């Protein structure tokens, strides 16, 4: 029966052909999708390895990761030894591998180029075949921590005050500065302070804040892109300062005058309302919100301006205090607020209150760039000038503002007129100095002897040392 045989033969041929096609297609099926999340460009003395691998049902035949360097292979992970890393199922299809490794776990890694390789395979065609994929990421191993050498001498820090240090750091591509407790003060290339031809020198202004302990550790730090960190001590002396305590009476008349305007002008208080008919108890509730949460939020806005600082000094000579002004309140005064004889709140006043005549011209304390000029809650109409290398000055409660952000200003240039906008009991200028967004006492910056002894002398000495080399 040749016809039947021919049909059977055709059917068999077709089936074989289909099977062959399926076999070939399976061989071309995509392997798992792989990604190396960490490290990026560098591996340091301690490093994180994070990778993801994705395939239908997270069904892997093999999954491995290792580092290749000059012919050597340094394992990071294998499905056969899952304890080598933490394995987490992120989705139905995706696994996340993560681990840290260091010189103890991988003593064979040396400085220089290396390659991270992740490979995986998955079953296809009912497990009869497998399909694999591999990715490789080029990295550089860096094991030598940055080196720091302090250059300047005689560092005197008064509680709540500022100081400067000049230091050398190598290599050049590291972040560095001064760490005071948990706060970091970045250093800037010394060329920004007039010290030329020394790419390895940095200048950092730092402070011991009013709310930090006198024994807070102060150190130079440097971090390279591989996460290696170096530190160095430098000689310094700490001086105590007494902060005053004061009592602030809060009257209903004051609340009626200031609360509605601040509520209306502060997006943080959207949903709250107040006007002339608001009950005294409601005004007091809003006042406490303003004096607490809004104060915190406004300080956060000011702290965020630190990121906009110039990398070079924009000022020269001592900063100017408001002309013919009387000091009404000093830096870091601890204030206790009373209403109808009851204590209602406590805050620390982080600037100077300077009173002159009403609507007195308010002038830039020194050269710089205007980086903020608008209404800001408790500060009312407010101007902030950046003086470079993290130093900024603030002028609050203004009745009018004459400058706009981005404007370069010179010392004594008029910024606006004093007033009583925001949380102000009367017409006065609230003046503050900020270092990396943190309030420091302005008294030092107003003092020509301090500027000369603490700042300019150190910069000249570093420049002179450079010149004599
Ligand atoms: Zn004030």
What local confidence, expressed as pLDDT, does residue 5 receive? 66
Pair 395, 371: CB distance under 8 Å: no
Band of pLDDT at residue 206, cut at 50, 70 and 90: very high
CA–centroid distance, residue 329 to ligand 1 (Å): 7
**Six-digit token string for 166:** 């000049």
pLDDT tens readout for residues 278-336:
888 999 999 999 999 999 999 999 999 999 999 999 999 999 998 888 887 788 889 99
CA–centroid distance, residue 344 to ligand 1 (Å): 18
CA–centroid distance, residue 416 to ligand 1 (Å): 17
Question: Which CATH number is correct for 35-141, 3.30.70, 2.50.20, 3.40.50, 2.60.40?
Answer: 2.60.40
Band of pLDDT at residue 173, cut at 50, 70 and 90: confident
- Residues of the chain with pLDDT > 70: what percent? 95
CA–centroid distance, residue 255 to ligand 1 (Å): 16
| Most confident segment among 11-20, 202-211, 267-276 | 202-211
Pair 434, 298: CB distance under 8 Å: no
On the question of pLDDT at 212 being above 90, the answer is yes
**Six-digit token string for 288:** 């406490």
Q: 27 versus 51: which is more confidently predicted? A: 51
What local confidence, expressed as pLDDT, does residue 389 receive? 98
Three-state secondary structure call for residue 194: coil
CA–centroid distance, residue 297 to ligand 1 (Å): 16
Band of pLDDT at residue 75, cut at 50, 70 and 90: very high
Specify which residues 392 forms β-bridges with.
386, 434
What local confidence, expressed as pLDDT, does residue 44 receive? 94
Pair 22, 34: CB distance under 8 Å: no
The arithmetic mean of pLDDT across residues 112-136, rounded, is: 90
Band of pLDDT at residue 343, cut at 50, 70 and 90: very high
Torsion of CA 455, 457, 459, 465, to 10 degrees: -160
Q: Where are the domains of the chain?
A: 35-141, 147-241+454-462, 245-440
Band of pLDDT at residue 27, cut at 50, 70 and 90: low
Fold entry, domain 147-241+454-462: Immunoglobulin-like (2.60.40)
Band of pLDDT at residue 275, cut at 50, 70 and 90: confident
Q: Name the nearest CA neighbour of 31 among 3, 69, 63.
A: 63
What local confidence, expressed as pLDDT, does residue 175 receive? 96
**Mean of the per-residue pLDDT values for the chain?**
92
| All residues with CB under 5 Å from ion ligand 1 | 353, 430
CA–centroid distance, residue 429 to ligand 1 (Å): 7
CA–centroid distance, residue 350 to ligand 1 (Å): 7
Three-state secondary structure call for residue 206: strand
Question: Would you say the CATH fold of 147-241+454-462 matches that of 35-141?
Answer: yes
What local confidence, expressed as pLDDT, does residue 397 receive? 96
Query: Cα separation of 428 and 419, whole Å?
Result: 6
pLDDT tens readout for residues 436-448:
999 999 999 999 9
Query: Cα separation of 133 and 148, whole Å?
Result: 45
Specify which residues 335 forms β-bridges with.
246, 347
On the question of pLDDT at 78 being above 80, the answer is yes
Lowest mean pLDDT among 17-26, 89-98, 365-374: 17-26
CA–centroid distance, residue 424 to ligand 1 (Å): 7
On the question of pLDDT at 126 being above 90, the answer is no
CA–centroid distance, residue 330 to ligand 1 (Å): 8
What local confidence, expressed as pLDDT, does residue 434 receive? 97
CA–centroid distance, residue 378 to ligand 1 (Å): 9
CA–centroid distance, residue 379 to ligand 1 (Å): 8
What local confidence, expressed as pLDDT, does residue 449 receive? 96
What local confidence, expressed as pLDDT, does residue 121 receive? 94
CA–centroid distance, residue 351 to ligand 1 (Å): 6
Rounded to the nearest 5°, which phi and psi values hold at 82?
-60, -20
CA–centroid distance, residue 153 to ligand 1 (Å): 35
CA–centroid distance, residue 263 to ligand 1 (Å): 19
Distances in Å between the Cα of 302 and the Cα atoms of 435, 436, 441, 445 are 11, 10, 16, 19
Residue 253: alpha-carbon gap to chain centroid = 41
- Residues of the chain with pLDDT > 90: what percent? 77
Distances in Å between the Cα of 360 and the Cα atoms of 327, 405, 414, 445, 468 are 15, 22, 10, 22, 49
Query: Cα separation of 393 and 411, whole Å?
Result: 12
CA–centroid distance, residue 288 to ligand 1 (Å): 17
Pair 372, 339: CB distance under 8 Å: no
CA–centroid distance, residue 353 to ligand 1 (Å): 5
The arithmetic mean of pLDDT across residues 377-391, rounded, is: 97
Distances in Å between the Cα of 330 and the Cα atoms of 303, 397, 410, 422 are 20, 16, 25, 19
Class of the CATH-defined domain 245-440: mainly beta
The arithmetic mean of pLDDT across residues 134-147, rounded, is: 95
CA–centroid distance, residue 349 to ligand 1 (Å): 6
**Six-digit token string for 255:** 């609340």
What local confidence, expressed as pLDDT, does residue 445 receive? 96
CA–centroid distance, residue 412 to ligand 1 (Å): 21
CA–centroid distance, residue 272 to ligand 1 (Å): 25
């Amino acid at each position: 029966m040749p016809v039947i045989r021919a049909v059977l033969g055709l059917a068999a041929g077709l089936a074989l052909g289909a099977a062959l096609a399926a076999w070939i297609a399976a061989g071309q099926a995509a392997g798992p999708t792989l990604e190396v999340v960490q490290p990026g460009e560098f591996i340091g003395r301690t490093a994180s390895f994070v990778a993801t691998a994705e395939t239908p049902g997270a069904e892997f035949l093999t999954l491995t990761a290792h580092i290749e360097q000059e012919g050597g292979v340094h394992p990071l992970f294998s499905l056969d030894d899952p304890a080598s890393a933490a394995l987490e199922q992120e989705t139905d299809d995706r696994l996340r591998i993560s681990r840290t490794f260091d010189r103890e776990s991988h003593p064979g890694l040396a400085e220089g180029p290396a390659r991270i390789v992740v490979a995986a395979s998955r079953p296809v065609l009912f497990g009869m075949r497998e399909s694999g994929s591999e990715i490789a990421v080029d990295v550089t191993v860096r094991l030598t921590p940055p080196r720091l050498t302090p250059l300047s001498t005689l560092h005197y820090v008064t509680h709540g005050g500022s100081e400067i240090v000049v230091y050398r750091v190598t290599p050049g591509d590291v972040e560095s500065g001064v760490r005071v407790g948990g706060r970091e003060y970045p250093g800037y290339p010394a060329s920004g302070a007039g010290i030329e031809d020394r790419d390895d020198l940095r200048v950092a202004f730092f402070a011991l804040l009013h709310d930090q302990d006198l024994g807070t550790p102060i150190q130079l730090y440097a971090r390279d892109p591989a996460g290696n960190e170096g530190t160095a001590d430098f000689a310094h002396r700490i001086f105590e300062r007494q902060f005053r305590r004061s009592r602030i009476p809060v009257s209903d008349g004051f609340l009626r005058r200031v609360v509605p305007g601040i509520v209306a002008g502060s997006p943080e208080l959207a949903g709250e309302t107040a006007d002339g008919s608001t009950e005294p108890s409601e005004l007091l509730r809003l006042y406490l919100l303003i004096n607490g949460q809004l104060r915190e939020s406004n300080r956060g806005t000011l702290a965020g301006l630190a990121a906009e600082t110039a990398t070079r000094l924009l000022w020269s000579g001592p900063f100017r205090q408001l002309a013919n002004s009387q000091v009404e309140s000093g830096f870091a005064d601890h204030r206790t607020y009373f209403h109808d004889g009851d204590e209602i709140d406590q805050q620390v006043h982080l600037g100077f209150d300077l009173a002159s005549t009403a609507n007195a011209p308010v002038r830039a304390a020194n050269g710089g760039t205007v980086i903020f000029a608008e209404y800001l809650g408790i500060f009312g109409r407010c101007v902030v000038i950046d003086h470079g290398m993290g130093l900024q000055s603030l002028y609050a409660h203004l009745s009018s503002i004459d400058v706009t952000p981005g404007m370069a200003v010179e010392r004594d240039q008029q910024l606006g007129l004093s007033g009583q906008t925001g949380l102000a009991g009367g017409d006065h200028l609230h003046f503050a100095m900020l270092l990396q967004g943190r309030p420091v006492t302005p008294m030092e910056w107003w003092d020509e002897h301090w500027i000369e002894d603490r700042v300019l002398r150190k910069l000249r000495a570093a420049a002179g040392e450079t010149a004599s080399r």
